[in-house]
Amino acid sequence: MIGKLNHVAVVVPDLTAASAIYRDILGAKVSTPVDMPEHGVTTVFVELPNTKIELLQPLGDESPTSKFLHRNPNGGMHHVCYEVADIIAARDSLVAAGARVLGDAEPKIGAHNKPVLFLHPKDFCGTLIELEQI
Ligand code: CO
């Protein structure tokens, strides 16, 4: 069902500083920040030859990502995103297998303007999984 690794997401306390680390120290290509109010984050994408790193900074006090940063003040790995061909078919098959989809289980438009869903970390080896329809 899952295809390529689309990105690994890292929550950071300071997006400007994190962008500088990836751009100036690690020598990667880094995008400009984009606010995503409906997800409560500001995102920067780091382009790698085979995948992307998504840097996330909480946006607004209600951001679910703020809680993560309270537990991990220096930031840390937040989720992995796998590509799927049909997100509704993937969701239905996962739910039938007993997996929990976060929220109302309806795909939302993610950072690449494509439908995304998140799967409960307790059902997937302690890792928050994002599925993105390609
Ligand atoms: Co993501």
pLDDT at 60 over 90: no
pLDDT confidence band for 64 (50 / 70 / 90):
confident
Neighbours of ion ligand 1 (CB under 5 A): 9, 54, 81, 130
- Centre of ligand 1 to C-alpha 49, Å, is 18
**Domains along the sequence of the chain with CATH:** 5-133 (3.10.180.10)
- Centre of ligand 1 to C-alpha 96, Å, is 24
DSSP secondary structure of the chain: ---SEEEEEEE-S-HHHHHHIIIIIS--EEPPPEEEGGGTEEEEEEE-SS-EEEEEEE-STT-HHHHHHHH-TT-EEEEEEEEES-HHHHHHHHHHTTPPBSTTS--EE-TTSSEEEEE-GGGTTT-EEEEEE-
Task: Give catalytic residues, as residue numbers.
Answer: 130
- Centre of ligand 1 to C-alpha 37, Å, is 14
Please report, rounded to a whole number, the percentage of residues in the chain having pLDDT higher than 70. Answer: 100
- What is the model's pTM? 0.93
Q: Output the pLDDT for position 44.
A: 97
- Centre of ligand 1 to C-alpha 25, Å, is 23
What are 112-124's pLDDT values in tens digits?
889 999 999 999 9
What are 39-59's pLDDT values in tens digits?
899 999 999 999 999 999 999
